[in-house]
Amino acid sequence: MATIAEFHVSAEDTALGESFERCPDLTCELERVVESAWPGVWLAGADDDEIAAALEADPTVEEFERVSGDDDRTLYELEFAEAVCSVVEMVLDEGGTLVSAKAENGRWAVRMRFRDREQLRTVYERLREHGVDVEIGHLSELTDSSWEEIGLTAQQYDSLVAAIRRGYFEIPRKVSMQELAEELEISHQALSERLRRAYGTLARAELDMPFELEPEADGEGSGEVAADRVEND
């Protein structure tokens, strides 16, 4: 049965350890919708000059570019060093799918989807072999009714499953949002909005926050989406 696991790892062992040393109040959250060769990361807790200086000095960051920002946080696209990429590639090669990643106080909380507990165990052991001090936090099993229980619509669920199966969440992506939208026979904007609503629903369910179901507003693909469901979930 498919499993969602949250890994807790030190930034010092993985990514942005030096940035946290220089900016102790720094918080990070991986942006999963920005389409780029580099992953987007929302950074907060320091001003732009402090963040830029920290990233410049961080050995886990090869290059970075400021994309946008507001008073609370700033979006950067980061090219991570090979040591970071090799760990990520190892996890993905073993079958893990990255769901979300955020960090504060020098520690990352990374949520991964695995086909079964054995796959999860293998990734855990491989991380330890790589010298990563990893702890497993929250675990949850995905059942056929899980998506309904947490408030996802059928369209949101099918879009998420298609995105996972086609490698949209992998780094680097195996399919662009435009290509995925064409396969699902909806517009790029419709898919983006659908995934954003799904992310919000999943986040609220995980954080046990109240929410109201929002109707699909894209007006497209109102019937069953042709994406195959993940077997054995």
Do residues 112 and 5 make contact, with C-beta atoms less than 8 angstroms apart?
yes
Instruction: Report yes or no on whether pTM surpasses 0.75.
Output: no
First to last CA, the chain: 5
Residue 71 clears pLDDT 90, i.e. is over it: no
- Answer yes or no: are the C-beta atoms of 111 and 99 closer than 8 Å: yes
The pair of structure tokens assigned to 87 is 């760990």
% of residues, the chain, pLDDT over 90: 46
Identify which has the larger pLDDT, 51 or 4: 51
Lowest-confidence segment of 4-18, 57-71, 216-230 by average pLDDT: 216-230
pLDDT digits (tens, 9 = 90+) for 146-192: 555 566 777 888 888 899 888 888 878 889 999 999 999 999 999 99
Cis preceding linkage at 172, omega within 30: yes
Residue 211 has pLDDT above 70, yes or no: no
pLDDT of 212:
41
Q: Which amino acid is located at 5 in the chain? A: A
